[in-house]
Copies of this chain bind each other. A is one copy, B any other.
Amino acid sequence: MPTPRVGIIGAGQLGRMLALAAYPLGIECRFLDTRADAPGGQLAPIRVAALDDSKALSALARDVDVVTFDIENVSVAALESLESIAPVRPGPTIVGLAQDRLAEKRLFASLNIPTAPYVAIDSAADLDRARTTLGLPIVLKARRLGYDGRGQRIVSSPTELADAWQALGERPAIAEGLVTFEREVSLIAVRGSDRQLRFYPLTENRHRDGMLELSLAPYVNTAAQSQAEQWMRALLEQHDCRGVLTIEFFLTASGLVANEIAPRVHNSGHWTIEGTECSQFENHLRGILDLPLGSTAVRGVAAMRNLIGSVPPRERLLEIDGLHLHDYGKEPRPQRKVGHCTLLGRDRAALDDRLNALETLLKTAQK
């Protein structure tokens, strides 16, 4: 049986967890990253180069059966140029849409998926238009290169709005009306060959300082699940891409409102490693390699807690029964995701006991 080989652009924690899922399947990985000491590098060779270095990218593509990526901010033109060498999955088109908040909004609109009202900002005049159309407060977001809450700000006055745009370097942006939501949820889907499609259950996501802190799964809401799946299907009718795709939603009084898409494995799906029959990482590999998809059936209830800044003492974390540690092998740094823990329980009450123990530990460890 030949060994399939996957090229991964970006060797961050997502790439690392893809490589960990690849070994048991007998799949080899090869990375391209700007840093030799990126988290994936202990698991598979890294070509060190800029992410848009066309020579290095071509060499990677020639060395593998399929190219994928663990970050979104990779040049669409570079990805397109690789397609003559090896399949790029999910494709460059969906990456381009996910990179540009305006294109993403238009994509949602074309599929009749509700989103926050918005105004494209290219000039100071647009700011005035946004204010009158949307009212205040407004969320101002750079069109490109935002993640984990970076490149966005909530503003409550005209002056703040002007300042926020200036702080963005007067780059193309979008202004969004603030959505009042009950909770944030995400839907992760995986697409394989022959139009195979599987969905994980909705995950509830709780953020702090714009960064995902805690995911709880499954978020059981039949109506929302079915609505989200229907929209994901529509999106995948329009864009035939393989592998894992995520849509983040706000759940509001009037239903789901799409926030953004991520054409890759997603932080809100880390709990699937222990919490489902086949993780998002393994299913992404299966999807992009035209292998049969794995079961997304849930095993118990799960909580995924990001470790931000530093990993608390290992011997204290592992005292918590049933805790699964995922250390990304990164240097500690404020506001950096350096690992996560997954906790499982038979039911929410059992899970909450373990989660409370973890939160108590994190509070004392951070002091």
Contacts and interface: CB of A to CB of B under 8 A. Distances in A.
A361 to B, nearest CB: 12
A215 to B, nearest CB: 17
A321 interface: yes
Contacts of A344: 277
Contacts of A299: 299-300
A295 B324 CA distance: 10
A339 interface: yes
B277 A292 contact: no
B311 A292 contact: no
A25 interface: yes
Contacts of A312: 1
A340 to B, nearest CB: 9
Contacts of A291: 314-315, 318
A292 B313 contact: no
Nearest to A327: B26
A310 B325 CA distance: 33
A329 interface: yes
Interface string A311-346: 111110011011011110100000000010000100
B42 A23 contact: yes
Given A1-B311, A299-B299, A311-B1, A318 B24 contact: no
Interface residues of A, number: 41
Interface in A269-307: 277-278, 286, 290-292, 294-295, 297, 299-300
Interface in A93-128: none
B1 A325 contact: no
Nearest to A193: B315
A43 interface: yes
A20 interface: yes
Contact of A26 (B1, B23, B44, B329): B329
A300 B24 CA distance: 21
Contacts of A286: 318
Contact of A321 (B16, B20, B295): B295
A314 B42 contact: no
A187 to B, nearest CB: 21
Nearest to A29: B42
A24 B325 contact: yes
Contact of A311 (B26, B294, B295, B314): B26
B43 A327 contact: no
A315 B327 contact: no
A1 B318 CA distance: 14
Nearest to A315: B291
Q: List the 6 closest A-B pairs by CB distance, nearest first.
A: A26-B327, A292-B319, A292-B318, A24-B326, A295-B321, A277-B322
